[in-house]
Amino acid sequence: MNSVQIITDALSLGGIYALTALGIGLVFSVLRLANFAHAELVTVAGYALLIGVGLPLPLVLFMAAAASVLVAMATERLAFRPLRHVDQTTMLVSSFAVSILIQNIFVFFSGSRAKGVDILPALARQVSVLGADVSMVKLTTIAVCGATLVGLISFLRFTRLGLEMRAASQDFSMARNLGVRADRVILIAFALSGILAAVVGVLFVAEVGFVQPRLGLQLVIISFVGTVIGGLGNLTGAMVGGFLIGFIATLLQTFLPLELREFREAFLFGIVILILLVRPHGLFPARHLKERV
Amino acid sequence: MKNLQSFVAASVLATAASVTAAQAEDTVKIGFVMSYSGWFQQIDAATIKGAELAVAEINENGGILGRQIEILPFDNKSEPPLGADGALEVIGNGATAVMLPSDFDFGAPGAFVAQQNGVIALSGASDPKFGVTGIGPYAYSISNAAQSQGALLAEWALNEQGWDTAYVLLDNTISYTNSLCDSFAKRWKEIAPEGSLLGEDRFRNDDASIASQVTRIKGLEAQPEAIMMCSYAPGGPSAIRQLRAAGVTSPVLTGESLDGDYWIGIVPDLSDFYVVNYGSVYGDDPSEAVNGFFTRYEAATGGRADVSYALRGYSMIEAYATAANRAGSLDADAVSAELNKFDEEPLVIGNTTFNEDLHIATTRPMLVMQAQDGKFSAVGRFAASVGNLD
């Protein structure tokens, strides 16, 4: 098998997982909330594409991003902010509730059946890279994931808001004492996670060609595992963890013998457990989260 | 307030009971314990509508044993265990037959209850376990067994199309697709030269990408002349989309789980796609009975069917009514004895044969449909030459 193709497969899948893991990680780092409703932010972007079929591409992409960001900010304001001062598990339960609610809204308006969406049909072709046929969808996915990562890192590194977010993720109460406004930082984290979800939604739909109410679910479950092995609360960790999961999944599917291939998930999660046994706080532990013994 | 509520509840129950008692004498009751809501609803909907059409037509022609058929609906809400509650309820209300969802896992809980209470259970499950071995002698499936669909496609690809090499791409999420691909591979190896099955691979319906599987196919020395893909929507069509986007143009074959055109938007302009189902909804079926059925179905429901499953619902009721009329009784043993005598019985779904051990079709012809440039059309009816259910 051609190694260029395998690397492209791994990079594009890893990129999708990395952006999803980062979206979850951003919210976790400032709010300590594993937001399972992140799946629905991906789904919302998908349905925005469905609604926008026939409109000019830039407008459709804007609609997808706007939809995810609006829903992300609305859930923060309505479902999480009022619960911020109670037990953290309450917020977790609230995120499940939001997730199921949004899924059912889609079932109500659009039915449970998948709907075909042929976004970016121009990408359904091959280009030759280093002697291998590589799909344009995959190359675009890799490029867009890369650009989004660079954009996000620049934002966190070079803007005042980014600085505040990094400070808040290190030590939230200290950051507040030093003048960081909690409401604003958390809202921005949700908005950013919405943008990341929209990017993932568009790329994912371009590849699979459909939307359905549970579109983002499996992606988010796998990516959440990525944030955990990367180190919960650490953004570099989330990114690396997401890529790692994509790489391991691709390599397992490629190199496991047929008889074992149907147990791919068992191997994947077996490797995850091994990583966590060796490094219980993930590959890049967030320092402030470690238990003090 | 509480007293008033219980009074209202009691009088509603009393009214319901007296209505039931009054009708008990004059109607033949068939329970429809189906998924009227929830995610399985999309799969059961056409079966229910087909069965309702059969009930209406049979009633117009005098009903069963001169009595009108009455449908007792129960919604299992796409929760298999509720099927048992539903079966108990409709049997309690006098049902002598129960129609259950078209899947073994969804249909079995209700079918066990029917079996225990001496009531015929009907389903479109394509798993032969829905019958004597898995449920008991009162359980019948109107479908073609998944195993026979795989064998049919292997014989058709090799003998009718002359495709010399094949590749198996199995979505192993559900048992139907496993049986389908296993039987294809088994039959192919029996009738084709050694080495002509170029490879096998697995994926899951909710996989984010099947890139590695596509890369493996592209890495073969020669591209397969046919790809047997066992899956269902949305993962199946999405897999075809990914194959085509990567430049894999081999014909794709599959079973009834990808019946219908509701998913075609996932792979616009799909070509070289072949699927077996029960009949064409486009009016080009080789069987005039099927074309006539879908014309009446459209008139009755106000829209073209988007899958062929309505034929199953229709023929389940057709089979039950035929057997009960011949038996001259609604007794499950008598009806079952008549069903077991079905030898090429001309039902709309096709000539159907049951016997004491086999309560599902194996060698009944199925329709091969093709998609070219995004349009479906009938190719012809073909049957597996063997009915191996291993």
Could you report the per-residue pLDDT of B245-284, keeping only the tens digit for each?
888 999 999 999 999 988 999 998 999 999 999 999 999 9
| Interchain CB distance below 8 Å, B238 and A208 | yes
Q: Quick one: average pLDDT of B326-332?
A: 96
Which residues, listed in sequence order, are joined to residue B252 by a DSSP beta bridge? Answer: B227, B273
Q: Write out chain A residues lying below 8 Å of B247, CB-based.
A: 125-126, 133
CATH class of B146-277+366-382: alpha beta
With H, G, I as helix, E, B as strand and everything else as coil, classify residue A191: helix
> What Cα–Cα distance (Å) separates residue B263 from each residue in A117, B271, B305, B309?
10, 14, 14, 16
pLDDT per position in chain A (293 positions), as tens?
A: 678 889 999 999 999 999 999 999 999 988 889 999 999 999 999 999 999 988 999 999 999 999 999 999 999 999 999 998 888 889 999 999 999 999 999 988 988 888 999 888 888 788 888 877 888 889 999 999 999 999 999 999 999 999 998 888 888 888 888 888 889 999 999 999 999 999 999 999 999 999 999 999 999 999 999 999 999 888 889 999 999 999 999 999 999 998 898 888 899 999 999 999 999 889 988 776 655 44
User: What is the pLDDT confidence band of residue B33, given thresholds at 50, 70 and 90?
Assistant: very high
Q: What is the pLDDT of residue A88?
A: 83
Does A279 contact B at CB distance below 8 Å?
Answer: no
Tens digits of per-residue pLDDT, B283-310?
Answer: 999 999 999 999 999 999 998 888 999 9
Name the token pair of A109: 């308006």
Domain boundary assignment for chain B: 2-144+290-352, 146-277+366-382
User: What is the pLDDT confidence band of residue B23, given thresholds at 50, 70 and 90?
Assistant: very low
User: What is the pLDDT confidence band of residue B2, given thresholds at 50, 70 and 90?
Assistant: very low
Q: Per-residue pLDDT for B57 more than 90?
A: yes
Q: Per-residue pLDDT for B160 more than 70?
A: yes
Interface of B with A (CB under 8 A): 38-39, 41-42, 172, 200-202, 204, 206-209, 211-213, 215-216, 218-219, 233-234, 237-238, 241-242, 244-247, 262-268
How far is A46 from chain B, CA to nearest CA, in Å?
Answer: 13
Mean pLDDT score of chain B, rounded to an integer? 91
Q: What's the CATH number of domain B2-144+290-352, 3.40.50.2300, 3.30.390.30, 3.30.70.270, 2.30.110.10?
A: 3.40.50.2300
- Asked if domains B2-144+290-352 and B146-277+366-382 share a fold, the reply is yes
Q: What is the pLDDT of residue B304?
A: 87
Q: Write out chain B residues lying below 8 Å of A112, CB-based.
A: 38-39, 41-42
| Interchain CB distance below 8 Å, A112 and B201 | no
Q: What is the pLDDT of residue A233?
A: 83
How far is A83 from chain B, CA to nearest CA, in Å?
Answer: 31
Residues 6 or more apart in contact with residue B188 via CB below 8 angstroms: B154, B157, B158, B166, B196, B197, B228
A282: buried, middle or exposed (CB in 10 Å: 19+, 13-18, 0-12)? buried
Q: What is the pLDDT of residue B354?
A: 96
| Interchain CB distance below 8 Å, A258 and B200 | yes
Tens digits of per-residue pLDDT, A175-210?
Answer: 888 888 889 999 999 999 999 999 999 999 999 999
ipTM exceeding the 0.90 mark: no
Does A212 contact B at CB distance below 8 Å?
Answer: yes
Q: How many CB pairs under 8 A join A and B?
A: 113
Asked whether the beta carbons of B336 and B132 are under 8 A apart, the reply is no
Q: In which residue are the tokens 């890139």 written?
A: B211
How far is A254 from chain B, CA to nearest CA, in Å?
Answer: 6
Q: What is the pLDDT of residue B25?
A: 60
